[in-house]
A and B are shown apart, each in its own frame.
Chain A
């Protein structure tokens, strides 16, 4: 029972971690561009912007007409649930360390999120950080890190 609670807790933390990283990636990409046009981006601006984006993207519920849920963690949760579900099944037959298996699964979830979302929104990347190839790759890496964290914690339960 305690192990199960721990697993759910790690899943929750993995979702939070990926949401935070995705938010921070958007912040950093925005600030890099702002800096490139000589806007006064300081370390303080960086920290306050990352905090702002974490609160508004990860902790704040959406406004109508969207359902009153934090949109980014909800989308990431859906992606991770599906990806981790398949991984759990595959791991019964395939001998691969959990941290790599769940890392790759979460990366795949982010691949779907960054490539499928524009198809739903007339070609628009709702995550500003996903508009460039480098941005897409970095978001996929964010996914990998969340999955890797989850897999490595599971190994210790």
Chain B
């Protein structure tokens, strides 16, 4: 009996030692550097250069971190946004030719000018001149407006052809409309850089359809990126209770929400008893229970050679980053990283190959992950 107890104890101790060695190995790979503190719910991150970073605060300001210092003064000229529920100043992306044209794109929720009870997702572009945003133009406005302050999407990415993809969430209470083409709920939108509609969008000639739609059947899409050669568009979206998805976005495809889903409603009710159907796309990965995926980057840097070609997905619950290893477009592994920092709102690759994290809090932080050398 005593011998057996001793054996089991030794086994348990060995297991813990192995875990310790494993954890230490990973701790040695990287370290955290705090770039800025005291940001009010940092959301979107864009790099003017490696040492000059723009950060949207959900509460409505566009801030600048320069050489490791958060500037007191925020960018002026940013339109007012609606900070309520899940809404606020959110997505940010630079024009691919920003060096020359200085165009910056912002996605945010705003009150409907015609009815103060309603609100919508709006995308604008403006020219960044010093600390001012000028020449504001509306690029996209989701229609119809909604009563809820939830599920905006509000992420953007430029494709190699110069068009802009915008994620537009299902507004929570309008989920069935994600299956209809006459509205912008639960859609990936594709527009030209000036907001005009590309002629090769899939539904431009479909009667009654919104011509900006690129794909449909989505829920709350808070991550959209392209791979290094721009040939694949990855998108992730929040599921309800379970059913967060990682998808490959293709022109005109239906991703199924809410007709098929791996999640259930917050009340416990089935949203749909179906998980697949012909003509509706399957995710390349899904999570049950939910991790609340909040941001994504495709890592193509040189600072972490082992991570090259991986997707990094920030997760609000329980608060970590998932490194998704890919073989082509197939998910082969998932590694949980940076799980000591709290709710992580976004993860972005910096020009120098480091990763930058936005920590979601009233006193949020921007943290850079660099090799531990």
Interface, chain A (partner B; CB < 8 A): 23, 26-27, 30, 33-34, 37, 39-40, 45, 48-49, 52-53, 56-57, 60, 63, 71-72, 122-128, 131
Partner of A53, one of B149, B179, B270: B270
Contacts A33-B176, A122-B84, A123-B148 given; does A39 touch B270 at CB 8 Å: no
B274 touches A124 (CB 8 A): no
B271 within 8 A of A: yes
Which of B6-14, B192-200, B260-268 forms contacts with chain A? B260-268
Least distance between A10 CB and chain B CB atoms (Å): 25
Q: A34-B259, A39-B259, A123-B173 are in contact. List 13 more A-B contacts (CB 8 A).
A: A26-B265, A30-B271, A34-B272, A37-B259, A39-B274, A49-B273, A52-B270, A53-B269, A71-B267, A72-B267, A123-B148, A124-B150, A128-B271
B25 within 8 A of A: no
Least distance between A79 CB and chain B CB atoms (Å): 15
A131 touches B269 (CB 8 A): no
A126 touches B267 (CB 8 A): yes
Which residues of chain B are near A72, meaning CB under 8 Å? 267-268
Question: What number of B residues sit within 8 Å (CB to CB) of A?
Answer: 25
Taken together as a complex, chains A and B put the C-alpha atoms of A124 and B171 apart, in Å, by: 9
Binary contact readout B270-281 vs A (1 if CB under 8 angstroms, 0 otherwise): 111110010000
A57 touches B273 (CB 8 A): no
Partner of B273, one of A45, A71, A131: A45
B270 touches A49 (CB 8 A): yes
Closest A-chain residue to B268, C-beta based?
Answer: A56
Binary contact readout B240-257 vs A (1 if CB under 8 angstroms, 0 otherwise): 010000000000000000
Least distance between A27 CB and chain B CB atoms (Å): 7
Contacts A34-B274, A39-B277 given; does A123 touch B268 at CB 8 Å: no
Contacts A56-B264, A122-B84, A128-B265 given; does A30 touch B150 at CB 8 Å: no
B66 within 8 A of A: no
B173 touches A124 (CB 8 A): yes
B172 within 8 A of A: yes
B141 within 8 A of A: no
**17 A-B contacts (beta carbon < 8 Å):** A27-B270, A30-B271, A30-B272, A34-B274, A39-B272, A49-B270, A52-B270, A53-B268, A56-B269, A57-B269, A71-B267, A72-B267, A122-B85, A124-B150, A125-B173, A126-B266, A127-B269
Least distance between A49 CB and chain B CB atoms (Å): 5
